[in-house]
Structure 1
């Protein structure tokens, strides 16, 4: 199908597709990446030491749009020890990575993990047996680290009893006799409750937390956003068609609700608009303008009217939004609050 599309689109569209692929591949390194990499190195060193009878959990938290998932993926992909490789009889991998499914139960999480591991045999109707199969599968693959993104879905278990059964099953992985598992869990700040609800305190004393903080009106954050605009625009052969003033950067950061991931999303949306601007051409490239940022913000904010577009109004600082579970900007009042399980 990709060959068919490539053969039927215009040369301009094919060229733009290559620029978009380059745009998507760029990751802006932040101090949070360094924190995650340090924790991964420490975890690998503990595994390499070979004398640990228990694993532990690293918890990565941040509000939606903070950029934590992409940072975690980038840090794992860049770490040589995490690269899968072919063993004598089967593929081996230090880690098993999955997104925690919505409305998580022990059954559907076990099923998700087995499928991600490549297990293609019919699953048992006994959810506990599936988890035992998962442990055996991880031993065969020599997997020692379980990475669970969107971990807040664990907190959405339908009842307190199901939540406790699910959370205990996950925590027990770190104490599996003969094959302890290390956990990397990533999600919104609510997931810190997962650790605090460990009544025995077995995870709490060994669970370092990497917390993504929001951006601020400080030199370091302003420069990081400015550098990001230039780097992403240059990668797509676009020149900046206006002065990057402090006022514009503050509008952009406020529009991204002071979260780096959401702010970068707006920048990338603006660049896409610039690539499809009528003035753009393969030979000359094009300009990235304030109007492109207006459209980029509007797209992320579900086609918001001009009066609630931070790039269109004078009192932009009065516009307050939040992000939904899909990373889209919405009115804060319309975001459904996540229900927590009973304790």
Structure 2
């Protein structure tokens, strides 16, 4: 008899106790989550991954280099990077003859990053038990040995701006030097993929010895623009996501609506998609919904935007206000749309 995990047991229990409509909606939500919209950044990232893998395969490199992917919060960089990593067969972990092998090791860089917290996070990601009182430098040495055992050649660090926010300049230098040293570890050079907000480009610029600037590609994910290509991309994305959830659009899609949507997403593709997905979820739970007969209305977008903007008033909702173009918001650290001034003030106090 095959053992069933606790998670599988609970999911089976939920599936057997909810209504058929809820179970059906869960499938649609899964489709919504699984649907990835290919962006111009995907092709650039995929090309750079191929080059990096080729360097690893060549086996004659004495040092690695860093691929830097930058974009504002909500630009969609993490989604594109993770999709490209998942799609590349070389990056899939597998069971080797003696242990689990993985070409890459990935982690979200923890807030207020230190050498200890990052080393601990990476060791845990590699399935290594770490003592809470362990020495950070020792952890880093164990991490290097762990990567050798797992045959790991590429280190992927998302939210890399947290490295730049190290508590003190001394801790920043110790942390950054330890990360850079991985690229020229004797006999086992590591390639880096770092992703984060535009300020992470300073990680290369701050290197006094310019050890990382050789062959260090930079991919910048730009904001959306009020141009045909971007408006068409957002329109195609909207219809693709609606169709995967078996909904139809209950109003005529106009240029004005597309501009409201892009402005509401602060002209960033990831945030714009987030609003669309929020609206779709509202549509799936509308009282008028039935299988194959759901309709997405403007009210669903009003509600979906309000959810992302933490229950903003109608007067400051871009899908309701007449002067919607005057509404200015920013994305906070949790992905919510908030008053732009409050974000700037908080970041200024933290710097």
The alignment's TM-score, normalised by the length of structure 2, stands at 0.95
CA RMSD between the two structures: 1.2
Q: Does 1:153 align with 2:162?
A: yes
Report how far residue 241 of structure 1 moved.
Answer: 0.6
Distance 1:196 1:48, change over 3 A: same
Q: Distance in 1 between matches of 2:75 and 2:130?
A: 38
Native 8 Å contact 2:124 2:130 kept in 1:
no
SS at match of 1:47: helix
Find the partner of 1:312 among 315, 320, 330. 320
Find the partner of 2:94 among 81, 85, 88. 85
Native 8 Å contact 1:320 1:331 kept in 2:
yes
Structure 1 stretch displaced more, 166-175 or 115-124: 115-124
Find the partner of 1:33 among 12, 19, 42. 42
Native 8 Å contact 1:124 1:130 kept in 2:
no
The correspondence of residues 1-343 of structure 1 with structure 2, limited to 5 A, is 1-120=10-129, 122=131, 125-282=134-291, 284-335=292-343, 336-337=346-347
SS at match of 2:33: helix
SS at match of 2:214: helix
Report how far residue 340 of structure 1 moved.
Answer: 7.8
Distance 1:340 1:206, change over 3 A: farther
Report how far residue 339 of structure 1 moved.
Answer: 6.8
Native 8 Å contact 1:69 1:149 kept in 2:
yes
Report how far residue 285 of structure 1 moved.
Answer: 2.3
Native 8 Å contact 1:100 1:154 kept in 2:
yes
Structure 1 stretch displaced more, 66-75 or 285-294: 285-294
Native 8 Å contact 1:123 1:130 kept in 2:
no
Native 8 Å contact 1:229 1:267 kept in 2:
yes
Native 8 Å contact 1:156 1:339 kept in 2:
no
Q: Distance in 2 between matches of 1:67 and 1:126?
A: 36
Q: Distance in 2 between matches of 1:46 and 1:276?
A: 50
Aligned twin of 2:6: none
The answer for unaligned runs of 5 or more in structure 2 is 1-9
SS at match of 2:347: coil
Distance 1:131 1:124, change over 3 A: farther
